[in-house]
Structure 1
Amino acid sequence: MRLGLLTACLPGESLEDIARWAGSNGYAALEVAAWPDRPGRDWEASHLDVEAFGQADADRVTSILDRHGLTLSAVAYYENNLHQDREVREATHAHLRRCVDAAQLLGVRLVGTFVGRDVTLTTTENLRLAEQVLPPLVEYAAARDVRLVIENCPMEGWHPDGYPANLAYSPELWGWMADLGLWLNYDPSHLVWLGIDPVAALEAHADRILHVQAKDVEVDAAARNRYGVFGQVLDRQPWVSGWWRYRIPGLGEVDWRRLIDALHQHGYEGVVSVEHEDPVWSGDPDRVRQGLTIAHRTLAPHVHI
């Protein structure tokens, strides 16, 4: 097992600079962000230009990682593969295929994404839609010896009422995902605020976990008593529930000792990748790196045994 980080938390930094810092601060792997470079979306990280990615680019990225003692754990592109706008959906699928192509050139077998949801349809209708549109993407990846790993984030901010907009949020759906050929990029933080024991969920689905993201969550039980589990309704803001928020590992509710021990017991030998979405340790690159240092201090004693 190795400790890594998702580069998306440093969208303004170069891959070289991130790799240099990560390798010098105890990290062993990078999950590299590959969103399209789109004007006006500075929060999205484009550390791999997969639209124009060739062997020379793969050699350059591999050289950067080797130089700093790192491996590549996955290519990361977490978008809505069931988007209600057909043109947006098709563009998302096209970019995801380019991520798969880049992963093949880089020799990494994993690309991370979401299932997503068409928010104009019911959940049942979305399941049927996914069964039509996702298998061709799975097949495209498999033909290149790549597997799609799905993060179990609810993505409630995509839904106008804050309901789950990624049909991978619940362990009930993970068997359905497996039937489609999809695998898990397991993030325990989402399960905690949903009221699910992340260790129990891990143990029930360990054979589907190919990648792990390490993010924590802080729960304000008193605020939940006011808003309920679906979050604030009046003056609602996207991505703000009013009663929980994501934190750096060690600053929230996840029992990392138990969770990583469960990974060890089930023979997991992949990467535990820190996904930094902590609003306290954000705002500028130095604070983000401080947050990553806290995460390393929390996780390294359990990962490196």
Structure 2
Amino acid sequence: MKLGVFLVLFGDRSFEEALDFAASQGVKAVEIGTGGNPGNKHCNPDELLENKTAREQFKKALDSRGITISALSCHGNPLHPQKALAKADHEDFLKTVQLAELLEVPVVNTFSGCPGDHEDAKYPNWPVAPWPNDYQEILKWQWENKVIPYWSEMGKYAADHKVKVGLELHGGFSVHTPATLLRLREAAGEAIGANLDPSHMWWQGIDPVQAIHILGREGAIHHFHAKDTVIDPINVNKYGITDMQSYSNMLDRAWQFRTVGYGHDIKTWADIISALRLVGYDYVVSIEHEDGLMSIEEGFTKAVRNLQSIIIEDSSADMWWV
């Protein structure tokens, strides 16, 4: 495995400065934003798609520092019921896939998106309860008319460009659990897989190790984020896991994101790394910082140190004792 970082953390630095800092901390791979919520500060597809020289310079900046690209990321909502918003995120995805092929990047990360509850809706509707029965009807309509048709087409598009799609399992979107990912993968093809982030498993009550086993046995983990979550044992009893308070209201929230090792101990993270190796994932562990108690630089460097102590870098050896 390789230790990586989601380079959008350093959006206040130039591309070269961000790479230098990542390399100085021992990072071997970067995940780069190309649009959508991550933005495209370090990688503008419109510029790189049109200019071969610019692409060569872009790759040289990485190669000269011994860094590879683990994924291009354009997290958005291509299923948004407002057509203009959906179109912008859809076009970001298409361009990102095209650029990934040219740069020989194997994975494009994004969200599945979430539709509205009918054709003329204005806002996404995320059903999370089976009753009243209206919610089941909404969910059925969304998957049959929006989610499966769109990703069946986009899965084929990605495969045609020799790219895999890593959907981040994230609350608020149609694909947010191992089961919903596998449901879509069965319908849309094996180009569709997970960008698995344990932090989003924990707050949904899902054990990340078990999620790794469930998805890994199907070869459905395309990329992996390293981010932690802590659940407040008192506040969760008041607000529940679907706490709608702002992330900035950290003292009262039921749960909050933390840097690696500050929500769960290193043994838990070692179990996660071992589970990834057990199911055959031998790719990048990409650090994402969303810890409101630490600066980006401190949260990132602490995550690096914690992960360096447990990440399995070498290929497994023959079992000489068998």
Output the TM-score relative to the length of structure 2: 0.83
Distance 1:135 1:88 in 2: 20
Distance 1:102 1:239 in 2: 35
Offset from partner CA, 1:65-100 (integer Å, 9 cap, x none):
111111110001111121111121122111111001
- SS at 1:184 equivalent: strand
Q: What is the CA distance between 1:62 and its match in structure 2?
A: 1.0
Q: What is the CA distance between 1:193 and its match in structure 2?
A: 1.0
Residue-pair matches, total: 282
1:81 and 2:78 aligned: yes
Distance 1:268 1:105 in 2: 24
Q: Which AA in structure 2 matches 1:273?
A: S
Distance 1:245 1:199 in 2: 20
Structure 2 partner of 1:141: 158
Q: Which residues of 2 match residues 197-208 of structure 1 at below 5 A?
A: 197-206=207-216, 207-208=219-220
Ranges in structure 2 where 5+ consecutive residues have no aligned partner: 119-137, 314-322
Counterpart contact for 1:103–1:109, Cα < 8 Å: yes
Distance 1:231 1:20 in 2: 38
Q: Which AA in structure 2 matches 1:214?
A: A
**CA 1:83–1:170 in structure 2 vs 1: closer, same or farther (change >3 Å)?**
same
- SS at 1:100 equivalent: helix
Question: Over aligned residues, Cα RMSD in angstroms?
Answer: 1.9
Structure 1 range deviating more: 92-101 or 8-17 = 8-17
Counterpart contact for 1:77–1:111, Cα < 8 Å: yes
Distance 1:92 1:304 in 2: 35
Distance 1:272 1:298 in 2: 12
1:91 and 2:103 aligned: no
Q: Which residues of 2 match residues 13-52 of structure 1 at below 5 A?
A: 13-35=13-35, 44-52=39-47
- Return the match for 1:190 from 200, 224, 244: 200
- SS at 1:276 equivalent: coil
Counterpart contact for 1:11–1:45, Cα < 8 Å: no
1:248 and 2:248 aligned: no
- Return the match for 1:228 from 204, 220, 240: 240
Structure 1 partner of 2:100: 103
Distance 1:125 1:15 in 2: 43
Counterpart contact for 2:225–2:286, Cα < 8 Å: yes
Distance 1:279 1:119 in 2: 31
Distance 2:109 2:262 in 1: 25
Structure 1 partner of 2:127: none
- SS at 1:78 equivalent: coil
Structure 1 partner of 2:275: 262
- Return the match for 2:176 from 169, 174, 199: 169
Distance 1:64 1:304 in 2: 27
Q: Percent identity?
A: 29
User: Which has the larger Rg?
Assistant: 2
Q: Which AA in structure 1 matches 2:274?
A: D
Distance 1:242 1:45 in 2: 31
